[in-house]
Amino acid sequence: MSEKIRVTIWNEFRHEKHMPEVQKLYPDGMHATIGSYLAKDADIAVTLAALDDPEQGLPDEVLNNTDVLVWWGHCAHHEVRDDIVAKIQKRVYLGRMGLVVLHSGHHSKVFRQVVGTTGNLSWGREQKEIVWSVNPAHPIAAGIPDHFCLESEELYAEPFAVQPDELIFTAWFEDGYIMRNGMVFNRGAGKIFYFQPGHESCPSYHNEYVERIINNGVRYVKPADFGMDIPDGAPCVHPHKVIDEFNN
């Protein structure tokens, strides 16, 4: 890993072009907004990528130089190329890249394939949401109070078709619903952080706590300092006997 954490923020980036109220909230795209917050930290280097860029924004020279990939997609999940998803999956499993999936990315090919889930959940109208921290000692909860309020967010609700390895936040919604909404998955030698807020027509990515949580998440899932090779295959160790190493 380089000295800086190299974060690539991938955005479907279509709502912002066609829907005036989204454009108003995020004139350069949600990825640009998130990126401008992350880039305030001297040890983070941000790259922006979008679906309609060449190679869908993720040519090999970008992907192979990404430590953490942040993903926002919604209506065009099916347009994302399978070969790119396969490259992302492999890079995460081999511990070379962490993944942060936001909001409607729960139904992206990337999330479904990397985590291993349908990504199914229930959803409904925009309403008041209160995010509760249920694991205050977790690094992703650093600096976050026991709860904070989002004036308007799209309802996402249980049942959410996952059992995460670490649960950090759970949301209360005005209409009587809840959702486990901040969570970490371990897959292979990689980590995935999913966080629910961020509907395109809501100002959540301007919320200070949401920004801090994404920042914390990026740092948490970044590749580990491996003391071993993570094999890309199933190596045969024969005829080596570990017990013979004692004589060395």
Calpha distance 125→122 (Å, rounded) = 11
Q: Is 59 helix (H, G, I), strand (E, B) or coil?
A: coil
For residue 93, give the DSSP letter: H
Name the token pair of 190.
């990689």
76 touches a second copy by CB under 8 A: no
Calpha distance 156→40 (Å, rounded) = 30
Touching a second copy, residues 97-116 (CB under 8 A): 107, 113-116
47 touches a second copy by CB under 8 A: no
What's the min distance (Å) between Cβ of 94 and a second copy?
7
225 touches a second copy by CB under 8 A: yes
180 touches a second copy by CB under 8 A: yes
Cis peptide preceding 203, ω within 30 of 0: no
What's the min distance (Å) between Cβ of 223 and a second copy?
8
Calpha distance 22→98 (Å, rounded) = 28
Kindly tell me the sign of the dihedral angle through the C-alpha atoms of 20, 26, 27, 29.
negative
Touching a second copy, residues 153-172 (CB under 8 A): 155, 157-163, 165, 167, 170-172
120 touches a second copy by CB under 8 A: yes
Nearer residue to a second copy within complex by CB, 53 or 74? 74
Binding mask 126-155 toward a second copy (x if CB under 8 A, else -) reads --x-x-xxxxxxxx-xxxxxxx-x-x---x
178 touches a second copy by CB under 8 A: yes
Calpha distance 180→158 (Å, rounded) = 8
Nearest to 107 by CA among 53, 153, 71: 71
233 touches a second copy by CB under 8 A: yes
What's the min distance (Å) between Cβ of 28 and a second copy?
29
245 touches a second copy by CB under 8 A: yes
What's the min distance (Å) between Cβ of 217 and a second copy?
15
Nearer residue to a second copy within complex by CB, 42 or 234? 234
Calpha distance 206→149 (Å, rounded) = 13
Pick the piece of the chain touching a second copy (CB under 8 A) from 30-38, 48-56, 69-77, 188-196.
Answer: 188-196
Touching a second copy, residues 7-46 (CB under 8 A): none
186 touches a second copy by CB under 8 A: yes
CA 59 to chain centre: 19
CA 29 to chain centre: 17
Calpha distance 32→207 (Å, rounded) = 15
